[in-house]
Structure formats: structure tokens, C-alpha cells
Amino acid sequence: MARICIYGAGSIGCYLGGRLAAGGAEIGFIGRPGIGEELRAHGLTLTHYDGGSWRVAPDAIAFSTDPNAAATADLILVTVKSGATAQAAAELAAVVSPGAAVISFQNGIGNADTLRAALPGRTVLTGMVPFNVVRRGPGAFHQGSEGEPEVEEAKALAPFLADFARAGFALRRHRDMLPVQWAKLLFNLNNAVNALSGLPLQQELAQRDYRHCLALAQAEALVLLSQAGIAPAKLTPLPARWIPALLRLPDALFTRLARKMLAIDPLARSSMADDLAAGRPTEVDWINGEIVRLAQRLGRRAPANERLVALVHAAEASGGRQNWSGEALLAELSASPKRS
């Protein structure tokens, strides 16, 4: 049986790996000692917002803190935070077998390129996880929003398609992942807004001022993407260019028209909010920061996203969430310098 390694056993890694293991795949996890102790004591409990649930017993979990454990893997799913990609790439370069395939299931745009540079001659694929995973307790991970894993098409995936199917995942494959990545990143621009709000996603998105903050960040990004000749993929019934207008609608009208967007677990927060609450560095430089870098390449500015990056870093430095009101955050972003 082909062996799959989860390289980065955080919320996404544990959820993906747990679902695959529950479906019968041979899974190995690599992560920090703390999560290893947690899984050895509690195993994995995976739940889904539509009521689905899966269980992996502690004695069925193969966990290691040693990167060398990836040496026997046929497929490696890299799920570390973007800031740890360079280190993961260097560690994997020393151990990955020549025939193994690697998928970057990470936020941001360039992580797969970082892995490719360190792993010449290997199959390294761009992937994307569109759904939110909530950590509900020791070993308990909950999928709080819809979506299926998406990945760059490649012949190397063939041996693993049945594993994903048995896990209940319709692994969506694309010839070109870049438009999909940018479309996901547009939605992820809300991670910073949510983290600064201190609210669950559903409560935050139900308030027009917070949605207007997201609309500012998205509209800014869409202008830059158009100038760069990048067309985001259509991941929702509405094209990406229409979403900012939808976000600006009054609450009652938005609630009626955007039921699917609000179909989120009531307790779910963005991963950036979870990182702030835990005192961990966030991925803001690989999300809103991607828009800032795109603007710089075009000789432009992205003031709303620049300000969100700065505010999240200020929150990191102060040790937690800032609990900005929607009104105050919108005023802060609206006061940002105009694009040059």
C-alpha cells in the first residue's frame, strides 16, 4: 500500500491525515512533540459541519518528530505554516525518496515553488485546502466550512486517488492552480479582518462594517490582479469581481443573498485568529502580504492590505487579538493613503 506522510501535524494536517487514515490509508504524521503527546493520549476525532464524524484510535497513529520519518513515504502532504516552508524544504531535501510526490497544501502563492527549488527532479505539486478547520479539543478537529482539497493535475497522483475517495474527499484536480490559489487568497484576505475583530467568522461576516473592510482589501487586490493579467478562478456562484459589491450590502440583504457564505460553524475562527490567540506568528505576510508584494512588482500601492499587515503584526507584538470594532477598523483602513 502506498504510504502517505503528513509533514506538519497542525489543524489542517491532522484533519486531512485523520480523514485519510479513517478511510484506510497508511498515514504517518510528522510534527511537534506536543501534538504527538496529544495524539498518543487521545487519538483523532474528526467531525464535519454536515454531521459526519470519524475516529482514529491512538494506537493506530504513527507519529514522529523526526523528518527522517518521511523517507519511506510515497506521497508527502506539506501542511506547515508558510513561514516554516523554507525549513521544511531543507529537511525534506535530505530525506525524500526520488520517486515520492509532494503536495503543498498551504496558504499563500509561492510555497510550492520554495519546495521545488529544494527538491529538484521530484514531483512537487501545488495544492489548496478551501475549508476552515477548528480545533475543538485534544485530538479533535472540525471542518467548519464547505469545500474539497484541490491540487495540480499530475500522473503521480494516480496511486493515491482511491485513498482520497475512501476518505470522502473529491480531490479536485486542475491543470493550472495559480488562478485557484489567487481566488482562495481573495477569500483569505478576511483572515486578518477576523483576527482583528476577535469574533467567530459567522458573527464577523454578519456585520456590514467588517464586510466593508474585507471589500476594501478584495477590491484593491482585484485591481492589481487585473493589471497583472491574472484572472482568479470562479470558486463560488458569483465571479470574484462581484464579491466586494455583495459584501457592502446592508446586513439583512446580505444575509438573504449570501446564505452559503454564512454557512460556517458558529464557533469557527480564521487560522490567523487562532494563531494570535495562541501567541504564534501569523501567516499575514503570505496572505495580505502577497497583495502588497504584487503591488510593489507593479509599481503600485495596496494601502488597505498594507495596513492590515501592520495591524496584525502590532497584535502579534502585543500578545493577542486587538478586538477592533467594525466601525473603528473600517475607519482605520479607509484613512490609509490612496493608491499611487
- The domain ranges of the chain are 3-175, 179-334
Supply the pLDDT for residue 339. 46
- In the predicted model, residues of the chain with pLDDT beneath 50 are 1, 339-340
Q: What is the pLDDT of residue 289?
A: 98
pLDDT at 134: 86
Helix (H/G/I), strand (E/B), else coil: 320: coil
Phi, psi of 27 (to 5 degrees): -120, 135
pLDDT in the model for residue 22: 97
**DSSP characters for 152-221?**
E--GGGGGGHHHHHHTT---EEES--HHHHHHHHHHHTHHHHHHHHTS-HHHHHTSHHHHHHHHHHHHHH
What pLDDT score does 336 carry? 57
DSSP 102: E
| Domain covering 179-334, topology | N-(1-d-carboxylethyl)-l-norvaline Dehydrogenase; domain 2 (1.10.1040)
The pLDDT value given to residue 27: 97
Residue 216's pLDDT is what? 98
Q: What is the pLDDT of residue 261?
A: 74
What are the residues facing 150 on neighbouring strands? 128, 172
What is the distance between the alpha carbons of residues 9 and 32, in angstroms, rounded to a whole number?
8
**Residue 340: what pLDDT?**
42
Indicate the fold that domain 3-175 takes in CATH: Rossmann fold (3.40.50)
Name beta bridge partners: 47. Answer: 53, 142
HSE value, Cβ hemisphere, 13 Å, CA-based, for 145: 24
